[in-house]
Structure 1
């Protein structure tokens, strides 16, 4: 095959990022944003369960990383009480009932978004109101809290309400995301008013000025306050639902109040798949966990798990995904997204991924509610007659893959963000833990390859020349550096509960992606240094 080297000449040959794992008998929250992880850890310290912490973290992330996720998005959740069964909660994307497939004619070329679909006229499947699916996330949080929560719902939403009223604090990360998607943001008036003050990407003032810049969204703060008082149902019935549907339809979209009122999260036992002496657990249908599990099923038939063998197994799983997975077809194993993981002191574990799909989702903000909406239609193949093609009232084939692994005296809750790249990253981390005996810290930080668009395989240069040369014998290898942006290898995060029979009791661990500067693992009761602006 081929080997292409596109490593950046701007990356220092000595650059290395490390991040220690957190370890404690107390609870731990690992998230892509340190402030959100801290909010979740504080909920644990107040007596909340791992699910309570997850709900609070979810809401906070929607305010702190609004380009990744939020109440206008969707997601999947796994919950395992100590020693119990794993419950799956599917709050994935479903297309509106009035969606018209003929509104998405395919034109020449390929789109430049996550999946490389054939181009659709005016990018209607990727950006704008027609790309919006039903936002199901809150129904998933509601279902998890009803079954596993301990603290009042309002207490869990309150930190996000406070954050929204304060406004998103601008730093270099915020500037970079807004600048990167400026062209899309400018297409929607409410988006531009939020993310492009004075028509330009926001810039943080120098620290010496003693000030911070913030991006306000008063309508979102008020919407969250209503949801805190009235519960998740406020998004699906009543004034918020009617306002949201009216705003989307006024911009040419299909979402209706009937779509919102009819949405229900699916609560089922998690699907399970054996791997070596462990068991993998995942949301049963139409998400990335199914493909990761299938790849590990193929790998389980081999005694070795070297890079080439694992890549071959993953390629087989992708072939199944692209040809057989869609709503109404085979939905499970054959006989820019946010992930966070939580473990509490009692051993309950949560693995949760939530997303708007693309970076900034549909790039549409509902003016009356302040909600940034997903572009879930982008998960569908725009070519009619194919598996997983665009259709009304249909569940989308998503890429997020919250997963758990149990056995050998431990429980691991793991997931990531990054579109289809999520799957290879989780897959390799699990192999590192089981077959190579790595610690959680080592497994998350280890060099990776990305095989999310076979036969092209993107290789982390740190894999070494021998491994890369071997891979290039069967795949079209593109060798690149591990960088913060663009991120070619996904942002991973995990927690682990380890039985410790030689000591006093179990130990919890949390590990965040080293190459994501905001990501962190925070221990319950741990006091961190305040963020810039926290004391102003």
Structure 2
């Protein structure tokens, strides 16, 4: 039985404004984006600033050495443009260097067969070609209004100061301290004496900061040279050399050849609403399948509605697992992803998800650049002969699910972090806004379930008894509550525009996340 308080109530205030709004998993990243909007920047400009700042302040969740996807809504043209900046396996990767160990399933996010020494999960051999910087760089080149270098200044300033290790950061570092200690450069950045997680005492005011000065130098280089400065020239060569010196495959040629994909988002019609999702090897098609099944479902009562959610999610995830090569994830394993959403005063929107994949990615730091590197190789099935089998120069299958939606005079940008839990959260919140006619505040405070390809439903214990009973009749159901740690459900962030009024919200249990208006600054 849980020892947590039964009387504590958590809510987040939602501002409504004619100004632009940024909703991010880290408040200071949202503030950086909102400051750009206040200075006259476009939603894309705000997304650039937010992306780089959140990479400094949530380094274990994402960063320049990761990947992801985003959808941009352009109010003047009515275009919904998708950008897939997912990671790729290096061209020189040797599949023979990832032999199966015969020791059962791997212990991180995906239940693949275990590889010898977990070479696909952790260490330099787990590092894939990063895509985040090129993805946001292409967006800025197409729509940005403010100078690229100006947009990186907030991230550079935060990196020079060093991220403050408060209690929440210390908790996350402690969760992976043993793994971080295996890489000398990761240990130097995140640990004290190479063993203990940085942090402060129970009653002490935190004053520990990460030394991110090398990262600040690298960001300054990217600010001056542009997005391609991450992929070409001295910085790229140093990064590749660091990875290869530690036994990985990433090369300067891999970096120079990387290009994010940009094209039309996939439209999804639903009742009287219209969604736009990521096509291809993402969770966008899975979201579309959920909504297709919900369209003909009975949503007349809360009990019927949540049962319909469970059925649609279960079927959609079964199809995903069977056809796309993603065999699901270990439920208790933490993901390493962040999401933010932006709306500016003109109605342009961005829904953007970026990730390192596992928490702290590969747990390897590039000493020359200061960047924590991804472990994108883990996205591939190490067994050969399957749709998602590991191979050189191959795109990774992702669980990211940024979504744009519109119904009536409401338009919203939505997404989440949380691995396989993402589709459950995003599809339910989308339904809350469309079928339940909720605003962003109501939708984010409404309890959810998680049904992500497992054998049981995970339900918020605050759901009405009749809903829980109906779910239990459908499938084995466990109840839990939304807490700060661990997250039993995904961690969403979204913005909404209703008429000319903008608003936003983040996961109510996140101690760092906030939606910030340009008028709040």
Same-fold call, TM > 0.5?
yes
SS at match of 1:143: helix
Matching of residues 83-98 of structure 1 within 5 Å? 83=76, 84-98=78-92
Instruction: Name the counterpart of 1:9.
Output: 2
Residue correspondences, number: 505
SS at match of 1:337: strand
Distance in 2 (alpha carbons) for counterparts of 1:463 and 1:208: 38
Distance in 2 (alpha carbons) for counterparts of 1:138 and 1:483: 32
Distance in 2 (alpha carbons) for counterparts of 1:514 and 1:314: 23
Render the CA deviation track for 1:291-314: whole Å, top value 9, x for unaligned. Answer: 111111121122436111121111
Instruction: Name the counterpart of 2:165.
Output: 170
Tell me if 1:508 matches 2:502.
yes
User: Which residue of the other structure, out of 20, 27, 36, is the alignment partner of 1:27?
Assistant: 20
Matching of residues 293-442 of structure 1 within 5 Å? 293-304=288-299, 306-325=305-324, 336-442=336-442
SS at match of 2:451: strand
Instruction: Name the counterpart of 1:493.
Output: 493
Instruction: Name the counterpart of 2:514.
Output: 520
Distance in 1 (alpha carbons) for counterparts of 2:129 and 2:324: 20
Deviation, structure 1 residue 202 = 1.1
Instruction: Name the counterpart of 1:114.
Output: 109
Query: Is the 8 Å Cα contact of residues 287 and 398 (structure 1) preserved in structure 2?
Result: yes
Distance in 2 (alpha carbons) for counterparts of 1:208 and 1:316: 49
Matching of residues 135-284 of structure 1 within 5 Å? 135-198=130-193, 199-204=195-200, 212-284=207-279
Query: Is the 8 Å Cα contact of residues 205 and 213 (structure 1) preserved in structure 2?
Result: no
Deviation, structure 1 residue 526 = 1.4
TM-score, scaled relative to structure 1? 0.91
SS at match of 1:240: helix
Distance in 2 (alpha carbons) for counterparts of 1:375 and 1:36: 24
Distance in 2 (alpha carbons) for counterparts of 1:325 and 1:377: 16
Distance in 1 (alpha carbons) for counterparts of 2:125 and 2:476: 36
Distance in 1 (alpha carbons) for counterparts of 2:284 and 2:177: 32
Deviation, structure 1 residue 326 = 5.3
Deviation, structure 1 residue 205 = 6.2
Query: Is the 8 Å Cα contact of residues 21 and 512 (structure 1) preserved in structure 2?
Result: no
SS at match of 2:288: helix
Instruction: Name the counterpart of 1:533.
Output: none
Instruction: Name the counterpart of 1:502.
Output: none
Deviation, structure 1 residue 204 = 3.3
Distance in 2 (alpha carbons) for counterparts of 1:520 and 1:192: 30
Q: Which runs of 5+ in 1 are unaligned?
A: 1-7, 328-335, 500-505, 528-536
SS at match of 2:452: strand
Distance in 1 (alpha carbons) for counterparts of 2:375 and 2:419: 13
User: Which residue of the other structure, out of 71, 74, 80, is the alignment partner of 1:81?
Assistant: 74
TM-score, scaled relative to structure 2? 0.94
Instruction: Name the counterpart of 1:48.
Output: 41
